[in-house]
Amino acid sequence: MWGRSAQPLASDRDNGAVSESPDVLIIGGGLIGLAIAWRASALGLRVTVIDPHPGEGASWSAAGMLAPISEAHFGEEALTRLNLAAAEAYPAFIEELEAETGTGCGYRRCGALVVGFDADDMRVLDDLAQLQRRLGLAFERLGGRACRELEPMLAPAVSGGLHELLAAL
């Protein structure tokens, strides 16, 4: 059986296809499996990725947002630190990937905007802002008009938002 792989599985060897076995066998060729495969292969390891539908799992559905500040939640301070470190490392990772593949991936470092409509939503945003302030994260609290200036497609009923300033990190 072959996935989209650099190396064959045992069944192929049994058929006399190729004789070498991989150093690393990765089951699942989504973002995570393929990133690991790329790095392992760059280290000189023989890598096989097995996946009947590579790149068609959650990685295909994802919006591609990295929003470590607006996704910071109470009780998840350690995760927030990890997310921030990952977001910091990401541009260099993307630059390397684009240079190696010659393909742009459309990554933009533009922050994220969380918006709300009514008074309850504003209270949630205020709580989030309080947490973000305590964690020393870079954000600004905006009214509805300022949110629509940033994102004109927002509904007129949006009454406020939190804008994470990832670019300022």
Q: Which residues bind ligand FAD (CB under 6 A)?
A: 27-33, 50-51, 53-54, 56-59, 61-66
Q: Which is nearer to ligand FAD, 90 or 126 (CB)?
A: 90
Shortest spacing between CB 60 and ligand FAD, in angstroms: 7
**Residue 45, amino acid:** L
Q: In what order do the strands lie in the sheet with 160-164?
A: 112-116, 160-164, 139-143
Shortest spacing between CB 112 and ligand FAD, in angstroms: 9
Shortest spacing between CB 119 and ligand FAD, in angstroms: 28
Q: Which is nearer to ligand FAD, 31 or 97 (CB)?
A: 31
How many helices (H) does the chain have, and how many strands (E)?
6, 5
Q: Which is nearer to ligand FAD, 62 or 110 (CB)?
A: 62
E-assigned strand segments in the chain: 24-27, 47-50, 112-116, 139-143, 160-164
**Residue 3, amino acid:** G
Angle at 1 between CA 46 and CA 16, to 5 degrees: 75
Shortest spacing between CB 143 and ligand FAD, in angstroms: 26
Nearest residue relative to ligand FAD (C-beta)? 30
Q: Which is nearer to ligand FAD, 119 or 153 (CB)?
A: 153
Q: Which is nearer to ligand FAD, 22 or 30 (CB)?
A: 30
Q: Which of 67, 29, 64, 66 is nearest to 48 (CA)?
A: 29
Shortest spacing between CB 89 and ligand FAD, in angstroms: 14
Cβ(81)–Cβ(73) under 8 Å?
no
